[in-house]
Amino acid sequence: MASVLRHSAKFTSGISSSLAACARNGTACAFPCHAFRHRNSSTSSKIRVDLDSSTGVAVMTLQGPPVNSMCMDFLTDFAISMEKLELDKNCRGLILTSAVPKVFSAGLDIMEMYGKGPEHATVFWRAVQEMWFKLYSSNMVTIAAVNGSSPAGGCLLALSSDYRIMADNPRYVIGLNEAQVGIVAPFWLKDNMVQTLGHRQTEKSLQLAQLYSAPDALKIGLVDKLVPEEKVLSTATETMAKWFSIPDHSRQITKSMMRKQTIDKFLSNRETDINNFANFVTKDSIQKSLGTYLAKLKKKKA
Amino acid sequence: MASVLRHSAKFTSGISSSLAACARNGTACAFPCHAFRHRNSSTSSKIRVDLDSSTGVAVMTLQGPPVNSMCMDFLTDFAISMEKLELDKNCRGLILTSAVPKVFSAGLDIMEMYGKGPEHATVFWRAVQEMWFKLYSSNMVTIAAVNGSSPAGGCLLALSSDYRIMADNPRYVIGLNEAQVGIVAPFWLKDNMVQTLGHRQTEKSLQLAQLYSAPDALKIGLVDKLVPEEKVLSTATETMAKWFSIPDHSRQITKSMMRKQTIDKFLSNRETDINNFANFVTKDSIQKSLGTYLAKLKKKKA
Amino acid sequence: MASVLRHSAKFTSGISSSLAACARNGTACAFPCHAFRHRNSSTSSKIRVDLDSSTGVAVMTLQGPPVNSMCMDFLTDFAISMEKLELDKNCRGLILTSAVPKVFSAGLDIMEMYGKGPEHATVFWRAVQEMWFKLYSSNMVTIAAVNGSSPAGGCLLALSSDYRIMADNPRYVIGLNEAQVGIVAPFWLKDNMVQTLGHRQTEKSLQLAQLYSAPDALKIGLVDKLVPEEKVLSTATETMAKWFSIPDHSRQITKSMMRKQTIDKFLSNRETDINNFANFVTKDSIQKSLGTYLAKLKKKKA
């Protein structure tokens, strides 16, 4: 709560400039913006939120080029946006999408894990957990409109939503490929994937760090639907209408019942998970592994 | 036990008239009735049981027009019939089917939940639990011969059986659509569905209150087999023979091992579940929601 | 540990004769044997191990004609081989295969369960548990190269591996058919199968004691891949390379996370499971059932 109140000034002051942003970038603004509030729209913002109070649908657009990587700023923005929407009685559903071409999100910003001490690791990992937890336990109907590649943390956003629509482009990939980089998906994300794909598919996917093309992702149930890229957002809107046809209270109780076990386990082991991560990621061997990966990335760009 | 003994006179006295009933309605009497006992066969009875001691197969026919709705009488009849069969050493298998055209069962009688106090809700819900528990934990091989639509409580009967055969008619539907009416499937039925369909399919099915046509139900594994309507019962008999080819004791131990976790969880949380239901269903908002639904049903009929 | 040390002399002394064995039976020796150690290769040995230190892959060949049945000797050999390989830093992966034509393994030796007292049952069952546990919890990448039929205990080996490749021959079958003989798959093997096939398929498979042809096994996910029989071992080698492309530490942590719950449950209930088995298998009725089965087998052979 505190964080929401602390940022309320920012929310208010951001409205005028985000109107301009909305006009500049019409494609990501799927809903008529008669009535909405943006949490902010400064050029430094990683996330834009457009809530249409007449439909009850908010669109959260990830807009952190080049790859919507999840740095601390992104995670903080995300958590605040979620809190705000969750408390807003006008908002019943949330669509997540990206304004960055070809990329939904490339996942966690490795710079937040490289060359930092255990204190930073602790703060960072708590924020990562919070992003997942807020989305996974949301009372809203949450739909991921995956209009680009979505590895690791990007896949986390999709998995924790209620429904996943992906652009029908075999060059876009999705999956939890953490093991490739020498790190490991946390248990709560593993539990989330097991619920979605089943145990066997998850065991293989995580151990082999598999990224699936959109068609393959549909085959194994990692996404629910493929549509042409230009229809991802409109299909999300149509799908939302279907979910809205069920009374909110019975849908919410059902969702909470379905996700209770995973949430309870997460909450009971949250601090242990943070400590494990901080110990693990600050190890010399893991730092070396991340360093090698970063060097590769730099070389690729150059 | 007490209830069985209490009703034993009724069981005996019902034999002659049920013979007549069996003759009147030949289609539901799949097994040669050389040796059988009926619990009763009065015209008020909601359920008829035909046990063929020579084959070890009992057929339980739901016969409460117009839709085999599960009122208190139905639930009591069901529980007594199950206790009786479970204790009968001549009975190894049970087939559930309907004598009502086009309907297997429409599920719980909403009149038992509407305009009644918490005491009634408590008694009613315990009886609903008992129906599920007796079938889910049965030592017998249980086969649902789903020869008509089977929403909500009808689907409960199918899910808690060992095998589900449905009439291959796309106009017949099956599923747990509780959320549509503003109520919620209980956790033990959710667990039962998760075991059958997996977590993801269940999450979607319950939140969207989905009813599946017979072909769609086969696709997602909600039923095991589709056959032409006139062959539903004979296929059930053939399938029973296959299950009987395994020694009873190893099959029963295996079944009990497979269902133990769900049964243990149910038994540990049974009273809480009853209290939750009684509190929930007597809320003004839920009563209003049920009232609206009942009004729609009446309008439809008129 | 003790058992490994106790057998170390045997390990060393076995090298020369196993070289000869490797030459004699080239087909099972898929890897160039530049650098390897065999635990032994006497003609009485049930299991041969060829470790290629240059690739990090060990091939464990079951070689106990006529059907690689799992007697006490087999189980002891298996456990020792696994301990040895697990401790060997040169070994990253293990391929299991059979040198016996048409049979991967027919499973537990029923003679170890027939006409023996509870003490023997206790020792035997602990060894069966140990075989499963060592394979299921292995740090190595484990691949079952199923080049023949694989019922019961044979299927156990496949299920507890990381990946299952089977010869594409519809006459080869695989499955847990314990119930047919009047015994029951233990809970930990059931848990392993539920993870692989899901709850519903396992419930049916175990209760009906189903053996699946190779093509059917692929369809339900009991094996991961079918290839022509002569390519089973080479495909296992190729697959191993794919698993080796992931850093060992992240793959191992992930595997351990995926299997933790089943392992914890096994370890907590291990002694109870042993007692249950000893009580069960020494019952008159079960002994009679096993006797009947053995008589049938004898008749078949004659």
CATH number, domain B2-230+245-301? 3.90.226.10
pTM for the model: 0.87
Q: What CATH number matches the domain at C2-230+249-301, 3.40.50.300, 3.40.50.11540, 3.90.226.10, 3.90.105.10?
A: 3.90.226.10
Average pLDDT, 10 consecutive residues per value, chain A (302 residues): 29 28 28 34 71 97 97 96 96 98 97 96 98 98 98 98 98 97 96 98 98 98 98 98 97 98 98 98 95 90 78
Chain B residues near any Cβ of chain C (below 8 Å): 162-163, 194-198, 221, 224, 242-243, 246-247, 249-251, 253-255, 257-258
Report CA-CA distances (Å) from A244 to A159, B167, C3: 20, 32, 63
Chains that touch A (3 or more CB pairs under 8 A): B, C
Option in A197, A242, A258 nearest B203 (CB): A258
Is the model more confident about B136 or about B11?
Answer: B136
Please give, rounded to a whole number of angstroms, the shortest distance from the CA of B107 to a CA of chain A. Answer: 18
What is the C-alpha radius of gyration for chain A, rounded to an integer number of angstroms? Answer: 18
pLDDT for res A300 = 84
Starting at the edge strand found earlier in the chain, the sheet holding C141-146 runs: C47-52, C57-62, C93-98, C141-146, C163-167, C225-227
CB contact under 8 A, A250 and B198: no
Residue of C nearest to B159 (CA): C200
Is residue C233 within 8 A of residue C30, CB to CB? The reply is yes
CB contact under 8 A, C203 and B195: yes
pLDDT for res C31 = 29
Option in A198, A207, A285 nearest C246 (CB): A207
Neighboring chain A residues of C221 at a CB cutoff of 8 Å: 200
Neighboring chain B residues of C183 at a CB cutoff of 8 Å: 250
> How many Å apart are CA C61 and CA C104, to the nearest integer?
10
The residues of chain C scoring below 50 in pLDDT are 1-44
pLDDT for res A43 = 36
Q: How confident is the model at residue B26 (pLDDT cuts 50, 70, 90)?
A: very low
CB contact under 8 A, B182 and A242: no
pLDDT for res A74 = 97
Q: Quickly count: other Cβ atoms within 10 Å of residue C299's Cβ.
A: 8
> How many Å apart are CA B155 and CA B164, to the nearest integer?
10
> Does residue B112 have a pLDDT over 60?
yes
Please give, rounded to a whole number of angstroms, the shortest distance from the CA of A254 to a CA of chain B. Answer: 6
Q: Are strands C150-151 and C107-108 parallel, antiparallel or unpaired?
A: unpaired
Neighboring chain A residues of C242 at a CB cutoff of 8 Å: 208
Cis bond upstream, residue A186 (ω within 30)? no
Residue of A nearest to C195 (CA): A199
C178 is catalytic: yes
CB contact under 8 A, A179 and C247: yes
Write the pLDDT tens digit of every residue in C16-38.
222 222 222 322 222 232 333 44
Please give, rounded to a whole number of angstroms, the shortest distance from the CA of B192 to a CA of chain A. Answer: 12
Write the pLDDT tens digit of every residue in B115-154.
999 999 999 999 999 999 999 999 999 999 999 999 999 9
B178 is catalytic: yes
* Fold category of A2-301 in CATH: 2-enoyl-CoA Hydratase; Chain A, domain 1 (3.90.226)
Residue of A nearest to B182 (CA): A250
Write the pLDDT tens digit of every residue in B273-296.
999 999 999 999 999 999 999 999
Can you read off the two tokens belonging to residue C33? 């044997």
